[in-house]
Amino acid sequence: MNTPTKIDCHGHVSAPAELYAYKAGLLSHRGAHGRGKPHISDDQIAAALRAPNPSFGNVSHLDHLDEAGIDLQLISPRPFQMMHSETPAKLVEWFTESTNDVIARVCESEPGRFRGIAGLPQSMELAPETWAAELRRCVTDLGFVGAVLNPDPYEGTAVPPSLGDPFWYPLYEVFCELDVPAFVHSAACRPPARESYSLHFIQEETQAVIGLLQSQVFQDFPDLKVVVSHGGGAVPYQRGRFRPGPIRRPGAASFDDQLRKLWYDTCLYTQDSIELLLRSVGVDRCLFGTEKPGTGSVRDPETGRWIDDIHHLVDAIDWLDDHQRQALYRDNTVELFKLDLAGADSEGATSG
């Protein structure tokens, strides 16, 4: 079996603690002391990538990638840090912009290893046109290749419009204009709540898929590219539940065909789940994603491997041929995000 270049579409920034100290200051004075800025040196940027992290098994971000043979990772803000539901809205704007600036510096510090996925200042006190301004800045000025779209900016405190609602159209217009994908990934879930933020992710991704597919969004924006994180929430697993609807509407596309309007990452931590996703939507609609280091960066006591060692799970799928494996690990992400690999070895620069 050939070892293709591995491009991980689902990573989050390992930022210096000074970024989060800056956030704490904003929250403490609620903007009364002005915007300020986080004071972060190049050495601190480098150390955040290289220092062992107790939250991630006492291994550094770069060591996690090297051990898994990941050549390039697309990184976005840490979702639970984004505080979209905080007030006043200027706090969300300031922290989002500072986080994106840190992501840009991380990418600059490791040329060829990272690409930026923007966070958006999705305060519901602001219009989506304002969120889109930060998307435009990150793509045109910082060279980012996409942006995270949080389907629940209220973070569990109220009910937002479905992603099929025209409320979101000003943002979709800019995604299409810039020709970059929207990466659906929820942020935090504020207490009191029935669910943890990890469960909130899955519920919001499920809502996002159904909301988009039961709407006019792809008729109105045929060029819109949407990636759904964590394998599409519960939808591939429960797709049989939604098949009868289109059958009752003569001429409607089947639900299975509708699922292929979206893309999905492989950020699922069991082989059978990944296989179900691939069989449900097709290998050509899936992107290799690990979220490494993150929630799954703990060793499985039965195997000794990291739970988020998704490459081992993909490699164990015996019905994938070399062409499909390369499409999953590399080619689908390169094509969708229009990545310029700048001479990277397409046959695999590292091994894991």
3-state secondary structure the chain: CCCCCCEEEEEECCCCHHHHHHHHHHHHHCCCCCCCCCCCCHHHHHHHHHCCEHHHCCECHHHHHHHHCCCEEEEECCHHHCCCCCCCHHHHHHHHHHHHHHHHHHHHHCCCCEEEEECCCCCCCCCHHHHHHHHHHHHHCCCCCEEEECCCCCCCCCCCCCCCCHHHHHHHHHHHHHCCCEEECCCCCCCCCCCCHHHHHHHHHHHHHHHHHCCCHHHHCCCCCEEECHHHCCCCCCHHHHCHHHHCCCCCCCHHHHHCCCEEECCCCCHHHHHHHHHHHCHHHEECCCCCCCCCCCECCCCCCECCCHHHHHHCCCCCCHHHHHHHHHHHHHHHHCCCCCCCCCCCCCCC
Catalytic member of 108, 291, 335, 347: 291
Q: What is the pLDDT of residue 189?
A: 92
Burial label, 248 (beta-carbon count in 10 A; 0-12, 13-18, 19+): exposed
Q: What is the pLDDT of residue 3?
A: 65
pLDDT in tens, 174-206: 999 999 999 999 999 998 888 888 899 999 999
Q: What is the pLDDT of residue 343?
A: 44
Average pLDDT for residues 162-183, to the nearest whole number? Answer: 98
Could you tell me which CATH number the domain at 7-337 has? Answer: 3.20.20.140
Q: What is the pLDDT of residue 2?
A: 56
Least confident of 94-108, 112-126, 336-350: 336-350
Q: Decide if pLDDT at 351 tops 50.
A: no
pLDDT in tens, 205-214: 999 999 999 9
Mean pLDDT value across the chain:
94
d(CA 297, CA 283): 25
Q: Decide if pLDDT at 349 tops 80.
A: no
Domain edges within the chain: 7-337
Looking at per-residue confidence, does 4 or 203 come out higher? 203
Tell me the percentage of the chain whose pLDDT exceeds 70: 96
Nearest to 13 by CA among 71, 81, 59: 81
pLDDT in tens, 226-254: 999 999 999 999 999 999 999 999 999 99
Average pLDDT for residues 258-267, to the nearest whole number? Answer: 98
pLDDT band at 111 (very low <50, low <70, confident <90, very high): confident
Q: What is the pLDDT of residue 344?
A: 47
Residue showing tokens 């942020």: 187
Nearest to 197 by CA among 260, 150, 250, 130: 150
Residue type, 221: F
291 is catalytic: yes
* pTM of full prediction above 0.75: yes
160, 152 Cβ separation under 8 angstroms: yes
Burial label, 230 (beta-carbon count in 10 A; 0-12, 13-18, 19+): buried
d(CA 268, CA 10): 11
d(CA 301, CA 45): 32
Q: Decide if pLDDT at 6 tops 50.
A: yes
Nearest to 116 by CA among 237, 20, 30, 9: 9
Q: What is the pLDDT of residue 193?
A: 86
Nearest to 92 by CA among 101, 83, 103: 83
pLDDT in tens, 7-51: 999 999 999 999 999 999 999 999 999 999 999 999 999 999 999
Residue showing tokens 């695999």: 348
